[in-house]
Amino acid sequence: MERKITPEELKQILEKHELWLRSGGKEGERANFEGVDLRGADLRGAILIEVNFARVRLEGVNLAGAILIAVNLERANLEEANLEEANLEEANLRRANLWGANLERANLEEANLWGANLRRANLWGANLERANLEEANLWGANLEEANLWGANLEEANLGEANLRRANLWGANLWGANLWGANLWGANLERANLEEVNLKGTIGVNIPNRNTITLETGVQQKEQEIVRREQEIVRREQEIVRREQEITQLKEQLKQAGNDAEEVKELESQIEQLEAQKQQLEAQKQQLEAQKQQFEEQKRQQENELNSLKMQITKLKTELSGKIKDAKESLEKALKNTDTQIKINQIYALILGFVGTLILIGSLVLLLFIPYYLWQHNLFPENNWHILFYTFPVITLILIATTLLRHQKALLNEVRYFSAMKHQVELYSGLLEASQHAAAGLGNPDKAAEYVQETFTQIRDRLLSMQHFQYQADAQSEDKRSRDDSSLDRVARLLEKITDLAGKGSQ
């Protein structure tokens, strides 16, 4: 069970700890808060070097600007804690809970965050250089402009994280989840992206060092190696010549006999040739060392080139996958649009035919009934009773006009869907062009940016089209409701006329 301490007790513990630090452990006492409940404590700017906070409850604690170098926060609960500009260099945060914590501009250099929960944490501008974030949960975390140089993010969860302009140079992202993450402007040079989930990522930035630069570098190293080999061969030939000359002079020295001057001259020449031979051998060794150095550099660049090509292939596959999904969605939309156009055209044709037929028939009846009654002298004694005979005709006219209004609405929808079909076909062409651009551009970063911009334009257009569709649907619904209400009014009018006719006959 956690133990609560008073602010006075906390102050005394910190004073003893500061004395312990200053005296090098000779005076005072090292602070140990294990098992203590420090929720909501105000520790702003506190000097907490090497303090033990293992398994301590620190929810909502204010540690802004605190010095927490080499502290032990293993399994500590720092949910929604304020660690703005705090110094957590080399801190132990294994399995710590930092959900929603504020770590803006905090220093976490070489900190151990293995398995830590940093979900929705704010790490804007934080320094995580060489930090261990293996299996850490950074879902939805804000890492904008954060420094992750050489950090270990193996199998970390970075889904929907904000990594805009983050520095991931040389970071290990093996098996990490970057689903839906924002990587606009992020530096991924020399980062390990093997087995990384990049589905749905935004603004994937392929390492700045492109394949052309590396291929040129490999070719230059090969040329330097060839030049060094040629120089080594020339030095070997020079050494052989010097050895031959030395052998000849030694033969002459044997033949010189007791001629002191000749012997002295020959020995001097032999010494000079020996010195030249040694100099040539030293140059040869130096050239061989340079050759080995260039070969090592060549191997490194070849490995980097192969790794970069694999990354480019993977990212191009991701882009192609995005484009393929978008094209499939547009093709489905195009198919649905075609189906809707055909259905509306058929319904419009039927409604127009039936409405026109009813209208013509009702007009014929409207003229025929009075003529028939007049010819056979069947007019009713009360003239208003004629309304009872002509009312069905009026009802048919109203029904015909309602059907024709429905036909007009359907034809408007056909025009709308035709325009939408044209837009969808245009977007399909844009996606096709972006796919070719992504495959053809020498810089995959620009290709990714172009595809993303295309997606954004299409999405905005489709959303605006959807808005207009909702308006059109709402208008059509209003028209249908008005038409239905007019039919109800006709039915009520028919009932009234029937009642009046019944009263008149009585």
Domain that holds residue 242: 212-310
470 shares its domain with 345: yes
359 shares its domain with 470: yes
344 shares its domain with 483: yes
256 shares its domain with 365: no
474 shares its domain with 349: yes
Positive or negative torsion for Cα 447, 448, 451, 457: negative
Supply the pTM of this predicted model: 0.48
34 occurs within a structural domain: no
276 shares its domain with 419: no
Q: Total structural domains in the chain?
A: 2
Q: How many helices (H) and strands (E) does the chain have?
A: 5, 2
427 occurs within a structural domain: yes
| Contact call for residues 46 and 12 (beta carbons, < 8 A) | no
- For residue 20, give both structure tokens: 């312990």
344 shares its domain with 471: yes
Query: Tell me, what's the pLDDT at 484?
Result: 46
Last residue of a domain, one of 286, 310, 334: 310
Query: Tell me, what's the pLDDT at 106?
Result: 96
In three-state secondary structure terms, 162 is strand
150 occurs within a structural domain: no
**Which helix (DSSP H) or strand (DSSP E) does residue 345 occupy?**
helix 260-375
350 shares its domain with 499: yes
Structure confidence by residue, pLDDT tens digits, 285-333: 888 888 888 888 888 878 877 877 777 677 667 666 666 676 677 677 7
Alpha carbon distance 9, 3 (integer Å): 12
Helices (H), 52-103: none
82 occurs within a structural domain: no
Which residues on adjacent β-strands are paired with residue 137? 117, 157
Residue 498 has pLDDT above 80, yes or no: no
In sequence order, the 6+-apart residues with CB closer than 8 A to the CB of 149 are 129, 130, 167, 168, 169, 170, 171
Alpha carbon distance 344, 298 (integer Å): 67
Alpha carbon distance 218, 205 (integer Å): 23
Last residue of a domain, one of 254, 276, 310: 310
372 shares its domain with 271: no
Positive or negative torsion for Cα 350, 354, 360, 363: negative
Percentage above 90 pLDDT, the chain: 27
Structure confidence by residue, pLDDT tens digits, 400-418: 888 888 888 888 888 877 7
226 shares its domain with 264: yes
Last residue of a domain, one of 310, 345, 364: 310
In three-state secondary structure terms, 149 is coil
254 shares its domain with 399: no
